[in-house]
Chains A and B, each alone.
Chain A
Amino acid sequence: MWAYKKMLQFPINIKKKNVKMAKNIVTQLGGANGELGAALRYLNQRYSMPDNKGKALLTDIGTEELGHAEMISTMLYQLTKGATIEEMKEAGFDGVYTEHGYGIYPTDANGVPFTAAYFAVTGDPLADLSEDMAAEQKARATYENLINLTDDPDLLAPLSFLRQREVIHYQRFKELFDEYVEKGLQ
């Protein structure tokens, strides 16, 4: 089970409203390489890991990803809070407003809703861990694209933090993958 801590993993305090950036950042919540997909990927794959090491690592990283989904949602909330209808229209966010008002809904940057088809569970630890490594690299690349799209330090700080977490997660998955290959585990 899980217990909630009423805090973020990393502070987010965005002072400048920016609906356009919200429209881009939402992909890290509900896009193919987003945090929600990451959390569900690892938390579903963990059951078929061959040993306690794999079960532990996927549980712990999957849990951290839930916290990252909360961080991305926090950014979306703060970037759009108090935005006028005019600002929504200007940013091309009026379609999102029509469907969801000021609510936070997981889609990619083009408005395509989140789907479980973004991740796989094969039951094969090497196949699953390969996907996990690729997913971390794709999320890292997406964070770099987002970092290139803004110069607001209130956004750059949490985006850089989250990007760096992809680096660490990739490393841990790779260590486990290499160990399983060496042991001939499948």
Chain B
Amino acid sequence: MNKVNNMYYDNYSNVNDIVNIKNEEMLQKDLVNASEGFRRGNIFPDLYWPYKKQTYNFVPNNERQRLLLEIMENSFYAHELNLYLDNYTTDKEKIDLFNKYNDKSNNLINEYNKKYEPIILNDLKEVPWAWEESPWPWEGV
């Protein structure tokens, strides 16, 4: 595993929330866990090809950013499995894993939609129209 040699969000404070490795995920021997996979941009250790041996750590500085990061990590994990399954369509274990992470990601998105602002156009009942009431992704996380 590469040494984390750079803080990405240097205004963030608590690194332990993210680098904590969840034991359940480690049971999947051929994959890294969701947080590590997301930081690498690659959840498959045998395909990992780093440049200048760098990965970057980032830690949210509030609950909203923490939840958003968790959504990104879980969506990414599901997406990686999606691409893998496009080629290996009979890998039952990975199909189950895809569903697990996809469900988790969807649940977290719904939670975020309720608590903060909409990521998807779902259940938007407020006036004025909530889709416009929050910053756009390019305006910062």
Contacts and interface: CB of A to CB of B under 8 A. Distances in A.
Interface string B98-132: 00000000000100000001111100000000010
B140 A78 contact: yes
Interface string A45-62: 000000001001100110
User: Do most interface residues of chain A lie in helix, strand or loop, or is the interface mixed?
Assistant: helix
Given A7-B119, A57-B87, A176-B87, A163 B79 contact: no
Contacts of A64: 79, 83
A153 B118 contact: no
B21 interface: no
A64 B106 CA distance: 17
A160 B131 CA distance: 31
Nearest to B71: A7
A147 B51 contact: yes
A166 to B, nearest CB: 9
B56 A160 contact: yes
A33 B74 CA distance: 28
A57 B86 contact: yes
Interface residues of A, number: 44
Given A10-B72, A13-B9, A157 B58 contact: yes
A144 interface: yes
Contacts of B56: 153, 156-157, 160
Given A13-B140, A172-B83, A164 B41 contact: yes
Given A3-B120, A4-B121, 10 more contacts: A12-B141, A53-B87, A57-B86, A60-B79, A143-B51, A161-B39, A164-B48, A164-B49, A176-B87, A179-B87
